[in-house]
Amino acid sequence: MKEQDIASELIDIRLQFGLDFVGIATAIAADGQKEIRWKYVAGNRNNRYQKIVLQVGKGIAGIVWRTARPMISEDLKTERVAPLQEYPIALTENLASIIAVPIMSEGAVIGVMLGGYRKVTQIKTSMPTDFQAIADKMQQSLLAVKE
């Protein structure tokens, strides 16, 4: 499995769910701390996502990483627990509605998959389950690239 394969899988996921943006954040160890970065994306408007560096517990990916639970918001402008500046990927990509789920391996988070819409969009009731199922499949892809 190559990084290009993951990128093409994300394009398929984006089309399957009608998303404007989809990305996977992974962690790298830096100075004894985990840094979370958006490594694979599809539907991005620019390359500023590459400069986003999060700590566990910060930003959308960091919160999902820490809690190992999905984060869903149909309107980030009104449904959020922190200022919009705390969600740099949403600002950079101008996302209004998001769904983010953990990618798990052996009980630990190894990545976060985020799907987003640039217009306020109602998230269908089946989407969290379907999106998590796709994220679970992406686990093998992520582990294959790391080897």
Angstrom CA distances, 62 to 25, 69, 106, 133, stand at 9, 11, 19, 20
**Contact criterion met (CB below 8 Å) for 41 and 21:** yes
- E strand or H helix that includes residue 91: helix 88-93
Which CATH number covers residue 73? 3.30.450.40
Q: Which pLDDT belongs to residue 34? A: 80
> From CA 59, how far away is CA 105, in angstroms rounded?
21
In a domain, 147, yes or no: no
> What is the count of structural domains for the chain?
1
In a domain, 43, yes or no: yes
Which pairing describes strands 108-117 and 21-30: parallel, antiparallel, or unpaired?
Answer: antiparallel
Domain residue limits at 18? 3-142
In a domain, 130, yes or no: yes
Q: Which pLDDT belongs to residue 1? A: 62
Q: Which pLDDT belongs to residue 127? A: 93
Residues of the chain with pLDDT below 50 are: none
Q: Say whether pTM exceeds 0.85.
A: yes
